[in-house]
Amino acid sequence: MRRLQDKIALVTGGNTGIGRAVAIGFAEAGAHVACCWVDREDEAHSLVAAIERRGRRALAVRCDVTQEAEVVALFAAVEAGLGPLDVLVVNAGVQLARPLVELSAADWDRVMAVNLRGAFLCAREAARRMIPRGEGRIIATCSQLATLGREGYSAYAASKGGLVSLVRSLARELAPHGILVNGVGPGLIDTGFDPLSDERKRAIAASLPLGRLAQPEDVVPAYVFLASAEARFFCGQVIHPNGGQVMY
């Protein structure tokens, strides 16, 4: 029996980067997996194929997580296509590197809408389905920058700091209903989507005790663990696979 055998999981922003690695990792652990996406449709379809090759059922649904009606429809589609949801991974997010004096209100609002409003909407819809069943897992992709901050990343870091607070608040609210809410706060992951220069990435890698940046697959075990029965006493925690950048 695999750790997530026959669980139904939804990974938002699951067609690329960390989300894609987590979706495949969940499938390898025995789960049936849905993902949502807003662009890179071909990668959403290739993810479905990759999951099905592993003998699991899969579903890809286009959804802008900032739009309430689309989020409601997403959860209905997942339930109709795969079954009652056991695990939600709140992963959809955007990054923006821009100095404060050049940051527009529209830029700020967009980052907050995707990274924080989207997390709220998805967690709410998951909770509405999990509470009657008395069980479930919600896992949020947080960030090391919620703790460290970074110049030029004020909107992103603030959104992830808010996400950590949301995780802790929802953990307290939902634990009495059998729903465990936790987060994963990676360090810099070499997904190819970070706007940092290659020179800056090399400098960050050299500063780490492990001497390298993480690949998406390096953080997948944290998600699988939090989704599994082994994490039954984890509540409101953020696990930090960061290569030793910060040691708690």
Q: Is the dihedral angle over the CA atoms 103, 108, 111, 116 positive or is it negative?
A: positive
If one counts every other C-beta atom within 10 angstroms of the C-beta of residue 191, the result is 17
Nearest alpha carbon to residue 59 among 42, 44, 71: 44
Q: Model confidence over 62-121: pLDDT tens digits?
A: 999 999 999 999 999 999 999 999 999 999 999 888 999 999 999 999 999 999 999 999
Residue 54, phi then psi, degrees to nearest 5:
-90, 10
The residue type at 171: A
Q: Choose, from 153, 156, 223, 248, the residue flagged as catalytic.
A: 156
Q: What angle do CA 148, 198, 99 make, to 5 degrees?
A: 50
pLDDT at position 188: 79
For 5-19, 129-143, 162-176, 188-202, which range has the lowest pLDDT when averaged over its residues?
A: 188-202
Let me know how long the chain is.
Answer: 248
Distance CA 19, CA 16 (A): 6
pLDDT tens for 118-156 read 999 999 999 999 999 999 999 999 998 888 888 888 999
Question: Any bridge partners for residue 239, and if so which?
Answer: 184
Both tokens assigned to 79? 């339930």
Tokens of 25: 């990792």
CA 188 to chain CA centroid, nearest Å: 14
- 153 as an active site residue: the answer is no
Angstrom distance (rounded) from CA 243 to CA 190: 12
| 75 touches 22 (CB < 8 A) | no
Cβ-contact 91, 11 below 8 angstroms: yes
Is it the case that residue 195 has pLDDT exceeding 70?
no
Pairing state between β 8-12 and 179-184: unpaired
Chain centre to alpha carbon of residue 189: 13
Q: Residue 109 is encoded by which pair of tokens?
A: 């609002």
* Domains by residue range for the chain, with CATH: 8-233 (3.40.50.720)
